[in-house]
Amino acid sequence: MAQEHILLNDIISDHRERMLNLKKYYPFFKLTEVSFSQFKDGKYDILDMGYLIMAILRFFIEENNFKQKDVTYHEYVEFITTCVNRDFGLTVVDSESKEIADYIFDKIKNEGKPFCFEYFDPVDRKKRTSRMKIIESKIIDSTVWYSISADAIEFYLETKEIKDESRISVQQLLLEKMIRSQNFKGGTEVIQRINEEVNRLQIRKNEVLNILTTDVFAGIEAYESFVDIGMRWFEEEEKLFVKNRELIFAARSKAEASKDNGSNESYYRTVDEIYQLEIQLKVAMNKHSELLRACTDMQKLTDEIVKKNKLSRLRSHFDFKNTLNSLIKNDDVDLLGLIIASMLKPKAKKTFNIISMDDCLTYRPQRYDKAETVSKAVAEDIKFVDEIEDERIDNNYRFLMRNLLIYMNKYSTFTLRQFNEVLEQNYTEKIFKNGDYYSFFINLCQKKEYEIGEGASAKESFLDEIIQEEFKDHKRVNFTIAMAEGNEDTILLLDSFEISNITFTRKDNTDNGTEKS
């Protein structure tokens, strides 16, 4: 029964965690399906998308994390040009390199949406969707700056087994990214992995000491290996700890300063996450300091053992066959008693130090070894940023289309200027400050004719999908769109935005703009 319980736990309970671990690999294999054979008639078929993706990730890690700066699109294009010419033996001009860079970047950005990885959760018995972005962007002083996401950093680091680098330093690189992106809960999980690595080094240090006490030569070899893969990174790790502690302090100060700008619930949740992250970091720093002291003591002990064994070279084993031959040759069996005495007469009397008893009574267990448990109710209430944006866009598009159909029910022909006047009368000029107003008409003008309502044609675009779902039971309406030619007929909104005028014509009525009774 116990074995069956373990099997079920591995299959059902651990499935979600395994799928979340796999999600970081999904975008890479999705992008490697992209072929250059269909791009520009196969002119750049020699290019390999997988290699270019890994090169771009390394480029962003170098710029974002080692040089501490974000990347402009121009810098990205320069890197792609160098990479294509150097690694694939091509010689491309500026216009061609711009085409290649644009094509790759469009695939990586995935039209501004995250890569969605769907899987089945056997615990809740429903489909779940996990999201991941490779490149993130922000606008500062009218310039778009790009940076690599924390998931992409983790993916890149896990594609190579880290042998000649410090795992603690690598995890702190990821922790820095988590703090800068304000993912404090994710940062806490990273610190837990740092603590696990510190515990692993503690165990390895104890193993080295045990080997030293039994086999000096093997112990020296194990000690040198431990120093090479662990101890030589201590100074760098300490600097990264201090740096991340300063970032946490800055994040806490920023949260305190923005207290009045957001809701109290959001403020207290953020402060609590920062507080938990700060506590975990202090625990990690304390454990790391203890490991450093223990390794220093081990170094002194190793030197003493080596010095002692230089004076009396101990053999690592006893050759019974040669000893027996020596006894026969010398015809002396007295030494045989010394050989078997240690096996036949073990020392049965044991003592226990009183001081050790005091240590046991005053021992206090670690307070922070237990991981934080997150209730399912809290996890299910999370809404991702892209979901919130999609919901807002969907609602605004439905609102604008609903008003357009109401106005179209009165007039068979009208212009966007006339429609804007009605919108301003009903909803004030604030409606023109909404960016979804402009994106709605940009998407609407992708087609010159629309069929809406019962029996409408199939969905052809992103906007069609929203319109057909909202107005599937609406009375059938057919209308056409005509753009104003040239820049003569334009509309000025809010004294800042200038757009071309549009003419809407309903096909089932020809009253030439007269209002229906």
Pairing of strands 449-452, 413-415: unpaired
Provide CATH code, domain 165-314: 1.20.120
Mean pLDDT of 259-271: 67
Mean pLDDT of 37-48: 85
Residue 419 predicted with pLDDT over 70: yes
Task: State pLDDT tens for residues 87-125.
Answer: 888 888 888 888 899 989 988 988 778 888 888 888 888
Mean pLDDT of 409-422: 88
Per the model's pLDDT, the better-predicted residue between 400 and 21 turns out to be: 400
**pLDDT (0 to 100) of residue 487:** 64
Residue 346 predicted with pLDDT over 80: no
CB atoms within 10 A of CB 54: 15
Q: Mean pLDDT lowest for which of 3-17, 44-58, 72-86?
A: 3-17
Distances (CA, A) of 234 to 158, 221, 301, 310: 22, 20, 19, 30
Residue 166 predicted with pLDDT over 60: no
The token pair that represents 423 in the structure block: 């919108």
Q: Mean pLDDT lowest for which of 150-164, 240-254, 338-352, 374-388?
A: 374-388
pLDDT confidence of 282, banded at 50, 70, 90?
Answer: confident
pLDDT confidence of 161, banded at 50, 70, 90?
Answer: very low
Instruction: Tell me how far apart the 2 most distant CA atoms of the chain are, in Å.
Output: 134
Is residue 505 a contact partner of residue 479, using CB atoms and an 8 Å limit?
A: yes
Phi, psi of 353 (to 5 degrees): -70, 130
**pLDDT (0 to 100) of residue 55:** 92
Per the model's pLDDT, the better-predicted residue between 455 and 12 turns out to be: 12
CA 170, CA 193: separation in Å to the nearest integer?
11
What is the rounded average pLDDT for all residues in the chain? 76
Mean pLDDT of 370-374: 56
Enumerate the domain spans of the chain: 1-160, 165-314, 385-506
Q: What share of the chain is helix, strand, coil (3-state, %, to 5)?
A: 65, 10, 25
